[in-house]
Structure formats: structure tokens, C-alpha cells
Structure 1
Amino acid sequence: MIEVTSKIIIRERDLKILTIRASGPGGQNVNKVSTAIQLRYQVSKSTLPEPVKKRVLKNAGRQVTGSGEIIIMAKRYRTREQNLADAINRLKHMIRIALREPKSRSKTKPPRSSDEARLAAKKRRGEVKKGRTNKRDTNEI
């Protein structure tokens, strides 16, 4: 069992852990040993509260599959154990962030001084543009 908080626990049977070969440079260790970890967590079937599930899926972005499964790739370290711990910590972090309810935005009104400054700037700009017009003398026509 993986403890995210004192109230939220992820069962290990809910996680699918695959070991794969890491890509990129690294010589024989990368070519011979499967040290990278692919951790899959089915959020839609998890025991998380419904609002938390929605926030986790929203925050995960492109790590989510169409079926609501989060895929975390961990290949930062040279050993399988360190990569597994890294993947689990990243999943915990993702869930902890989703546990915090976003603050609701309170509407604010811009101060009167900023409105006056904006209108004064518009007035100045209008005067500049008005000064560009051809001023024909009506007596010449």
C-alpha cells in the first residue's frame, strides 16, 4: 500500500508497473538492462473522491490515455529501484496537488484612477489622429 496522505491510500494492485529499456545514451547498461519504469494508474477505477479524480485527470495533461489511465515514465536514474521510487513519488505529488481545491476567483473592479488614465490616453490618441487630417481652407474651393 502506498500512502499519499493519512486518508488516501493507493493499493498496489491498482498500479501496473512495467520495466522497459530506457532510451538515449548510456552505453551497455541502457542496452542490456531494463531500468526504466512505466507506471500506469487507472484513475477512473480508483478510490479517490470524484472531484479529485477530475482534477488529477485535468492536471495530468498528455500523460492521460483516452480510457482515463495515467502513464508515468521514469528513466532518470540508472537503477530500477530508484526509477520506481521516482515514478511513485511523482504519482503521489500529482494526487496531492489535486487534493487542494482551487481557490474561487472573486470578481474585482478596476480602480477609478486606472479607468481615468485609460480614458485620458484614449483622448490623447484621438487628438493625435485628429491632427493628421487634411485641413482644407474652405475659401480656396
Structure 2
Amino acid sequence: MLVMPKNTLFKPNDVAIHAIRSRGKGGQNVNKVNTGIHLRFDIKASSLTNENKEKLLKLNDIRLSKEGIIVIKADNFRTQEKNRLEALKRLNLLLTKTFKVPKIRKPTKISKAALAKQIEQKIQRSKIKQTRKKVRF
């Protein structure tokens, strides 16, 4: 059974997970045990909406292949289960960032009281600078 992280945007049958040999340090454990995870997410065959599929296919990411498959490799941990969860979390994070709609910024207007205060301060500052000038006779 596949243990999924909370609040995932995809279904468990949308991903294909294969165990691979991890790279890097680890002694004999690296050479004998398949602890790394190779996750493949086929965008076109997934259960996402067509709009979200289009957003993903337009994504400019090195993990996205020309065929529309997202490939994520996770081999940071020594156990296969931790690497599987890490790969699923990375996929979910990628989907979340892609589907997020940015808020539309509404430009704020300065209030009349604040504008009057700014003008009053400007006049006051101008008077101070006027008193610093040399007096001519």
C-alpha cells in the first residue's frame, strides 16, 4: 500500500514508483539495496483537470520530459520509505506551485487627511530651510 502525504493534488494510481540504487556514499549498503526512488507522473494520463494539465505541460522545468512525464528521483535518505515520501512531497509541491493563482494587486489610494499632512510637513520643512539661507541687505 502506498502511503501518501497529506493534501495531495493527485491520486495514488497517477504515479509510477520504482526502486533504484542510490548514488553517493553509504558503503556496501549502496551497492546491495535499492533505496532510491524513481517517480514518474504522466500528465496526460492523470486524473487532473484539462486546465491543470495544460498548465503543467507549459511548465519550463528540467524534470518535465517532452512526452509530458514528470520524473523525480529521490535518494537522499537511507530508507526506501523516506525516499518515497520525499519524492511524493516534491511532486505535490511542484503541482501546488504550478496551480497557484497569484492574487491581483489592488492599488491603494492615499487618503485626503494623509495627503494634507504630507503637504503641511513639506511646507514646514520649506520654512526651516528658508531660515538657513544667508541674509542679504
TM-score for both structures, normalised by structure 1: 0.63
The 3-state SS of whatever aligns with 1:63 is coil
Gapped runs of 5+ residues in structure 2? 107-137
Name the structure 2 match of 1:22. 22
Aligned to 2:71: 71
Q: How big is the shift at 1:67?
A: 1.2
Separation (CA, whole Å) in 2 of partners of 1:105 and 1:76: 39
Q: Which runs of 5+ in 1 are unaligned?
A: 107-141
Q: 1-side partners of 2:35 and 2:51: how far apart? A: 35
Distance in structure 2 (CA, Å) of the matches to 1:104 and 1:40: 34
Distance 1:3 1:51, change over 3 A: farther
Question: Structure 1 residue runs of 4+, over 6 Å off?
Answer: none
Name the residue aligned to 2:123. none
C-alpha contact (below 8 Å) 2:73/2:87 kept by paired residues:
yes
Q: 1:63 offset after TM fit, Å?
A: 0.6
Residue identity matched to 2:64: V
- Return the structure number with greater relative CO, CA threshold 8 A, min gap 6: 2
Query: Matched residues in 1 for 2:51 and 2:6: separation?
Result: 16
Distance 2:69 2:105 in 1: 30
Closer/same/farther in 2, CA of residues 21 and 3 from structure 1, 3 Å limit: closer
Quote the RMSD (CA, aligned, Å): 2.5
Q: Tell me the CA shift for residue 70 of structure 1.
A: 0.4
One-letter identity of the residue aligned with 2:83:
N
% identical aligned pairs? 35
